[in-house]
Structure 1
Amino acid sequence: MSAPPFTLVGIDHVVFLVDDMDVAMAFYQGVLGCQPGYSYPALGMEQVWTGAALIVLWDTTHPGASAAVPPVAGGRNVDHVCIATSPVDPDDLRAHFAAHGVEIEREAEHGGARGVGNSFYIRDPFGNKLEIKGPAVYPDGRA
């Protein structure tokens, strides 16, 4: 097998299907602090920056999103997306989510691209699972 003619750089973007763009933007900008990205009004699509990557929000109720509507209602094809954060005090994060009415489904210490660190699992208003993960406690994954 030959090597590909490119080098992998990282995740560019993830697309979430939503059915209320105002609610989606309020959550991603107001709760998570994402910054506005590219906008595609003809498609019913907005993008928000999460550090160096984008989350694309595609409104399935918009006429321009017909290609995005899943063939099976309620079907899913993504388990979760992990959003890396700066250092954060776990109590401050818990208080922030509580103030916005966001339930923390699970807390754990998990490995990821930056090593083993604290993870908080939440859902956006459309049921998409997000892992909010601070920097590595052990950058190489070992104690």
Structure 2
Amino acid sequence: MPRQWIHSSRERDAEATPPGLPGLTGVDHIGFTVPDLDEATRFFVEVIGCQYAYSLGPFRSDGTWMAEHLNVHPRAVMRELRFFRCPGGPDFEIFEYEAPGRHTDQPRNSDIGGHHLAFYVTDLDAAVAHLRRHGVRVLGEPTASSGPSEGQRWVYFLTPWGMQLELVSYPHGKRCEDGAPARLWQPSD
């Protein structure tokens, strides 16, 4: 087989295969670990408005299964996990673990592994008032974005255990939607 033909065939195959994960259709769930699963359940059901779906556990392993499959200490015990349906999706898989040497501090956004969950709301001011009525720590006042995110307002808040969450709203869209090469996903999609 001529070398040129093999090279050209590979190029054609690469062009025919779209980049990324084959069959990707969206985000199924977001999983995170909390220090107290009952406290997290109350918060996500009573304050955020998620619906409890089901629970599993406990899980432990005498071998290396936990380390090999979950990247946790081999003697870690996943006491329980609970699944919640979040309005507008995705679902949440919330864990409570016992594990030797585990870190108990919440990462900040600036830390490696730092993160936050952002909830889209149609009325940011009403949502902030709701959080405050429930005694939730809201970080500052809502901020109006500029640049490509113009049209958006947002504010961070903390769960009782210090996890960072965000409210975001852009009921009339964001400036980046005008002529952008890719339109960002929106809950209304």
How does the TM-score come out when normalised to structure 2? Answer: 0.58
Deviations for 1:55-100, whole angstroms, at most 9, x for unmatched residues?
2211124xxxx4xx77444263232111223x1251x223211110
**Structure with greater proportional helix content:** 2
| Structure 1, unaligned runs of 5 or more | none
Higher relative contact order (CA 8 A, sep 6+): 1
CA gap of 1:6–1:140, structure 2 versus 1, over 3 A, is farther
Percent identity between the aligned chains?
A: 21
How does the TM-score come out when normalised to structure 1? Answer: 0.73
How far did 1:12 drift? Answer: 2.1
Q: Using the alignment, how far apart are the partners of 1:115 and 1:11 within structure 2? A: 26
Which of residues 51, 54, 58 is equivalent to 2:95? 58
Which of residues 97, 104, 118 is equivalent to 2:138? 104
CA gap of 1:31–1:5, structure 2 versus 1, over 3 A, is closer
Aligned length: 133
Query: What value does the CA root-mean-square deviation take over the aligned residues?
Result: 3.0
User: Is the Cα–Cα contact under 8 Å of residues 116 and 141 in structure 1 kept in the other structure?
Assistant: no
Structure 2 residue aligned with 1:82: 118
CA gap of 1:12–1:136, structure 2 versus 1, over 3 A, is farther
Q: Using the alignment, how far apart are the partners of 2:162 and 2:172 within structure 1? A: 29
Deviates more, 1:98-107 or 1:22-31: 98-107
Larger radius of gyration: 2
Query: Tell me, what secondary structure is at the counterpart of 2:138?
Result: coil
Opposite residue 89 of structure 2, the aligned amino acid is: A
